[in-house]
């Protein structure tokens, strides 16, 4: 079956671009102009009440589902959950997915040409935060004429953005799906990010971020990805997939050229990442995650959620040691402390943090059932208006 005719796929999709004048940042600086890369799936209904914003994780992009061309080998990063009859049912919902500012997949970031200098921003690009990303996404939503989202949804950093949406714009979000995420990153998580950043910064080709048009810091970026990827898996999953097996059938164990299967896997992940991601964007996005703290300015999480109006679905995974189940429970407890409507599920799995990217029947069911209730609720309100 072709990609265009696959009944379970959104088929061939085109990445589009929206540009607006400027964005004032939390740091006090501004970016001008700002371009947001985005894709849409499904059809916006007449009263514009079926829109869902999908927010991506650290290395994601606007390309969440379908294929950008008939020759593309792999579909968008959340394709297994987006499409006709899937959890994010494109026969029912209008899905928007955008690349965050600071990224390197079409939205304004450090690899973008700085209009004041005529060359790439590099480290002249200002530090951006999760809230800055959400403020830019709001401009895109306004571009569509959407005044309220049916849902803001995402995993990992995407979950952080979905939570921030509901706090920054409580009147504009009917529901939130926060998956494998946290209200703030742990010290351990920050530590892993810093080791990754140092791998890039200490690559001789990094050149203080001015490598555009020259040799890229591929070794440093690859190493950063290898380090990060270890945190996305669980020890049990790594053992079951790789064990202590060598990649070669007849290995020379007394040689550094001989690789264990797990070593070969990590090298492959690092090499793939270099082909599709910008090293400076990695620095900026990991810093944005580090800076994220929903309780900042509130004293604790409970007052942070005091004025939210959304319904929440919070999902964690038992083997996720980067964004632990206890981090999700902190969010749930703060919401319940405010009397908010929240459903919490801790899914048993050995796949680690990356579980939200893997097809999981229970995750599909939780998302599908929650969204169905939210859509029925908002449709009932609109019919009764």
| pLDDT per residue as tens digits for the range 125-168 | 999 999 999 999 999 999 999 999 999 999 999 999 999 999 99
Q: Does 385 have pLDDT greater than 70?
A: no
pLDDT value, residue 3: 59
Tell me how far apart the alpha carbons of residues 203 and 187 are, in angstroms, rounded to a whole number. Answer: 25
CATH code where residue 269 lies: 1.10.1740.110
| pLDDT per residue as tens digits for the range 33-72 | 999 999 999 999 999 999 999 999 999 999 999 999 999 9
CATH code where residue 179 lies: 3.40.50.1820
| pLDDT per residue as tens digits for the range 98-131 | 999 999 999 999 999 999 999 999 999 999 999 9
**Which residues form the catalytic set?**
156, 320, 353
- Which of 227, 259, 286 is the last residue in one of the domains? 286
Sheet strand arrangement including 51-55: 16-20, 34-41, 94-98, 51-55, 151-155, 175-179, 311-317, 342-347
- Which of 234, 268, 286 is the last residue in one of the domains? 286
Q: How sure is the predictor about 257, in pLDDT bands with cuts at 50, 70 and 90?
A: confident
- Which of 235, 257, 286 is the last residue in one of the domains? 286
pTM of the shown model: 0.95
> 265 and 334, same structural domain?
no
Tell me how far apart the alpha carbons of residues 204 and 262 are, in angstroms, rounded to a whole number. Answer: 27
Domain that holds residue 297: 16-185+293-384
Counting Cα atoms < 13 Å in the Cβ hemisphere of 78 gives: 34
């Amino acid at each position: 079956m072709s990609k265009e005719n696959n009944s379970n796929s959104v088929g061939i999709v085109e990445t589009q671009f929206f540009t607006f004048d400027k964005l004032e940042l939390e740091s006090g600086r501004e970016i001008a102009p700002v371009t947001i890369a985005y894709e849409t799936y499904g059809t916006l209904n007449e009263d514009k009440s079926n829109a869902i914003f999908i927010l991506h994780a650290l290395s994601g992009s606007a390309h969440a589902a379908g294929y950008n061309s008939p020759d593309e080998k792999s579909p968008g990063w959340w394709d297994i959950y987006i499409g006709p009859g899937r959890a994010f049912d494109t026969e029912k919902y209008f899905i928007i997915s955008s690349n965050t500012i600071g990224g390197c997949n079409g939205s304004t970031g450090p690899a973008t040409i700085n209009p004041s200098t005529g060359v790439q921003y590099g480290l002249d690009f200002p530090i951006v935060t999760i809230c800055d990303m959400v403020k830019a996404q709001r401009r895109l939503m306004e571009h569509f004429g959407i005044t309220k989202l049916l849902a803001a949804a995402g995993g990992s950093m995407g979950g952080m953005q979905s939570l921030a949406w509901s706090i920054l714009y409580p009147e504009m979000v009917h529901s939130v799906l926060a998956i494998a995420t946290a209200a703030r990153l742990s010290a351990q998580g920050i530590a892993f990010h810093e080791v990754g950043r140092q791998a890039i910064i200490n690559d001789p080709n990094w050149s203080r971020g001015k490598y555009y048009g020259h040799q890229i810091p591929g070794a440093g970026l690859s190493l950063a990805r290898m380090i990060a990827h270890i945190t996305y898996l669980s020890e049990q999953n790594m053992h079951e997939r790789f064990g202590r097996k060598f990649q070669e059938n007849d290995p020379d164990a007394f040689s550094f050229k001989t690789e264990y299967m797990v070593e070969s896997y990590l090298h492959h992940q690092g090499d793939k990442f270099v082909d599709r991601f910008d090293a400076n964007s990695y620095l900026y996005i990991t810093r944005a995650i580090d800076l994220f703290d929903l309780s900042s300015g509130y004293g604790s999480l409970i007052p942070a959620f005091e004025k939210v109006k959304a319904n929440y679905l919070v999902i964690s995974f038992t083997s996720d040691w980067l964004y632990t189940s206890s981090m999700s429970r902190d969010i749930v407890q703060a919401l319940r402390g405010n009397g908010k409507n929240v459903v919490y599920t801790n899914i048993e799995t050995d796949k680690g943090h990356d579980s939200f990217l893997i097809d999981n029947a229970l995750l599909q069911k939780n998302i599908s059932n929650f969204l169905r209730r939210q859509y029925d609720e908002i449709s009932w309100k609109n019919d009764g208006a």
